[in-house]
Amino acid sequence: MIKVGVVGGTGYTGVELLRLLTGHPETELVVITSRTEAGKPVADLFPNLRGSLELAFSEPDIEQLCTCELVFFATPNGTAMGMTPQLLEAGVRVIDLAADFRLRQADLWQQWYGMPHACPQLLEQAVYGLPEVNRAAIAQARLVANPGCYPTAVQLGFLPLLEAGLVNADQLIADAKSGVSGAGRKAATGSLLCEASENFKAYGVAGHRHLPEIRQGLAAASGAPVGLTFVAHLTPMIRGIHATLYAQLQDTAEDLQVLFESRYRDEPFVDVLPAGAHPETRSVRGANHCRIAVHRPQQGNTVVVLAVIDNLVKGAAGQALQNMNIMFGFQEQAGLADIALLP
C-alpha cells in the first residue's frame, strides 16, 4: 500500500483520477488539494465519490505532499514544474498529467506554452509515460510525463507502421475528434451546451499544442523527424477521442492486420479489432483501452488507421494509473479492469 497525493482534484481529469484511485487495491489517498475548494469534502463536489472517499480538499502544502510516496498533478500546464523539484528531492515520485515534462526541449515548451520552463534540468530525466513504448523506463522512473489524449490515440495508431518503416514518414495525416470534456471543467463559452451540442468544428488548425508532442513521439518511432498534419475537432459528446490516421505505404506486400496484431499482442490495453472493423468511442467509455482497426481502401497505397480512446481514461487518468502500476511493480491492470459503459 502506497500513500498517494493528488494536486488539483477538481477538474474532469482530477475526479476521474480520484474515482480510479479509490478502487485501487494498493493505494491510500492521503491528500487532495484545491485552492478554491479547500475545506470542502470531496464528495460534496463529486457526489459519485460519496461513501468511497471521506477526504476534504486542502490547500497545497509541500511539506504534506512530501509525506506521500507518489504525487499526481492533475493541474493546468505550468503548475507541476513549480513543485516537482522539491518533491523529487524528498524522494517522492511524480506523475504529471499536464504537459510540463512532455517535451524534451525547454525552448520548444516556451514556444508552444507561452512561458519559460521552471526546471529545464528535469526535462531529460522525465520519462514519457506511454507504456506501449517506454515500459522499462517507466518502471525505473522518478518523474513521469503522462501523455496527452490526442497524442495517445495518434501515436498508438501510427507506431506499428513507423517502427516497421512501411510508410512515408513525411506525409502523415491525423484527423482527430474529441468530446467536450477534453476542454476541461471550466466556464468557457465554447463548452456550453447550446454552443457545443448539435455542432461540429475544427480548431487549432494552424498549430495545436499537442502537435510537437506527437511529432516527438513519432520521430522516435521512425528514427528521424516526421512530417505530420494534425487537425483536431470538437464533437458534441462528453467523452471520447476518435483518430482517423492516413499514411502512404512504401511497401504494399506487408499484411497490415498481422503487423498490428503482432505489435500489440502483449499489450493489455490495446485491442486490435478484426479486419474490416470500425471502432466506436462508446466501446471504450470509462475504460482504459485503445481499440484500433487498420484498413487499406481498395487495396491502394493509402493505409487508414482508426483509433478510439476515452480521453479521460486511457487519454489521462487511466494511463496515469497504468504508469503508477508499472513504477511500483503492481499488476499493470490493477484498478483498471472496468468494462466500458454501454449505452
Residues assigned a catalytic role? 149
* Tally of CB atoms within 10 A around 273: 18
Report the distance separating Cα 275 and Cα 113, nearest Å.
40
* Tally of CB atoms within 10 A around 65: 22
The dihedrals phi and psi of 307, each to the nearest 5 degrees, come to -135, 135
Query: Which grid cell is 239?
Result: 467523452
Report the distance separating Cα 303 and Cα 325, nearest Å.
34
The dihedrals phi and psi of 262, each to the nearest 5 degrees, come to -70, -45
Query: Which grid cell is 253?
Result: 506486400
| Strand-pair partners of 177 | 233, 242
* Tally of CB atoms within 10 A around 288: 24
Residue type for 107, please? D
Provide the phi-psi class of 281: left if phi over 0, else alpha when psi is between -120 and 50, else beta. alpha
